[in-house]
A = this chain, B = another copy of it.
Amino acid sequence: MGENSFGRIFKITSFGESHGEIIGIIIDGVPAGLKIDREFIQKELDKRKPGQSEVTTFRKELDELKVLSGVFDKRTTGAPLCMIIENKDFDSSKYKKFKKYLRPSHIDYSILKRYGGFADYRGSGRFSGRITAGFVMAGAIAKQILAQHNISIFAYTKSIGNIEDKYKYEIEVIEKLVEKREKSVVRCINKDISAQMINLIEKTKDQKDSIGGIIKCIVKGFPAGIGGPVFDSLESTISHAIFSIPAVKGIEFGAGFQAAKMKGSEHNDPWILKDGKIKTAKNDSGGIIGGISIGMPIEFQVAIKPTASIGKRQKTVDIENMDNVEFELTGRHDPCIVPRAIVIVEAMTAVTLLDHLLCQGKIPDVVQSET
C-alpha cells in the first residue's frame, strides 16, 4: 500500500494532477499475454470524461488513451503497464497563488495543513476527480481479465437527491441493464426516473447549486471462497478502494444501514438448494459472509456528496484579512458527478476483486489460451 498505490499482486499506482501535463496509472502485476483492447479502455474513459452531456461539466477533454510501457505486439508483457491521458483544456490563469477565500467543504484548508502551501491547487490538483481517469484505465484492464473468467461488474445511479430507483434488478440480464443505463445521461436504468433525475439536476444547476446521489454496484459471477475474515475482508478492501474516489462519504454492503434496524430472523439469508446448487433465498448479506464471497452477487451502495464547488453565495473565511466574509465562486462546475462516477466505482471494484483472485492464486500469471 501507500499514499498512491493500492493492491498486493495486481497493484496500481496513481499519478498526475488536474492541470499538470498528464493523468496516469501504472499497473504492476498484470498477467502477461493479455491482448489489450484499446477500444474498450477508450470507451470506459469516455464514460467518465467531462462534457458528455448537459448535466456534466463543460471542460472539453479528449481523454485519449496512451500506453507508455508494458505492452508489446498488442499484448501485456508482464512488465508494469503505464497508461496516461493528457490534460489539454485547462486555463490556470484565474487561479492565483494566494487564494483569499477558503472554499467551503473544499480542499483549500486541507492542503494548506498537509503540504504547507506547496500543493498544486490549480483545478484541485491531485484532489481533482480527474485523477480517477487513471482508476478507469486500470479498471478496464481488470474488467477485461475478469470477463475472461465470466465475472462482470455493473453499477448504476440509484438515486439523485430524493429521486430514487427502488427496483431490484436481476443481475442475470446485465447486458440489457447496461444498454438501458447507457441510454440515460444520468446512467439510471429506468427511463421515467431518469427523466426526473435530469430535471432535478437541471433545476439545481439553474440555482447555481449541486446535488448528491447513490450508486449501486453489483458483481455477477464472482466465485465463492474469496476474501478473508480480518483485514482482507472483501468489505475492507472494497471500501478502501471506493473511498479513494473523491466525494464518496458512505458505503454499505447488502442491507447495510438497514440491517441495523433488522432482527436476525429478518436479516439472515436462508440457504436454499436450487437446481442442485447452493444459493441464498435473498441477498441481504450482499454476497459476502465473514468477509468472504459466497457465490451470490456482491452488492453494495455508495453515497456521493454534492459537489462542493457551487456558484451560490456562501459564507467563509478570508484568510488574507482573517475575517468572516461572503463570496461567490465562478467557473464551470459539475452540478452532479454521480453519472460520471459510475464507471469509476466499477473500475475500483474490478481492481480490488482481481487482486483478491490473484492473491489466492485463482488466476494464472500468464494468460493461457486467449487469442
A252 touches B257 (CB 8 A): yes
Which listed segment binds B: A17-25, A41-49, A147-155, A189-197? A17-25
Q: State which residues 298-348 of A face B: CB under 8 Å.
A: 303-310, 312, 314-317, 319, 322-324
Q: Which residues on B sit within 8 Å (CB–CB) of A145?
A: none
A263 touches B209 (CB 8 A): yes
Q: State which residues 106-159 of A face B: CB under 8 Å.
A: 106-107, 109-120, 122, 125-127, 131, 159
* Contact of A214 with B by CB under 8 A: yes
The distance in angstroms between the C-alpha atoms of A16 and B255, with both chains bound, is 30
Q: Nearest-CB distance from A338 to chain B (Å)?
A: 8
Which listed segment binds B: A7-15, A165-173, A176-184? A7-15
Q: Which residues on B sit within 8 Å (CB–CB) of A310?
A: 264-265, 268
The distance in angstroms between the C-alpha atoms of A304 and B249, with both chains bound, is 18
| Of the residues B4, B241, B251, B306, contact of A251 by C-beta under 8 Å | B251
Q: Which residues on B sit within 8 Å (CB–CB) of A367?
A: 118
Q: State which residues 64-122 of A face B: CB under 8 Å.
A: 68-70, 72-73, 75-80, 82, 84, 97, 102, 104-107, 109-120, 122
Q: Contacts A5-B28, A72-B119 given: A271-B33 contact, CB under 8 Å?
A: no
User: What is the total number of residues of chain A having a CB less than 8 Å from a CB of chain B?
Assistant: 156
A303 touches B82 (CB 8 A): no
In the complex, which of the residues A82, A204, A269, A312 has the most CB atoms of chain B within 10 Å of its own CB atom? A82
Q: Contacts A262-B212, A263-B204, A303-B256 given: A15-B70 contact, CB under 8 Å?
A: yes
* Contact of A286 with B by CB under 8 A: yes
Q: Nearest-CB distance from A302 to chain B (Å)?
A: 9
In the complex, which of the residues A109, A229, A253, A262 has the most CB atoms of chain B within 10 Å of its own CB atom? A229
* Contact of A228 with B by CB under 8 A: yes
The distance in angstroms between the C-alpha atoms of A109 and B277, with both chains bound, is 12
A-B contact pairs, 8 of them (CB 8 A): A5-B13, A72-B122, A107-B290, A110-B224, A240-B240, A250-B253, A264-B307, A265-B310
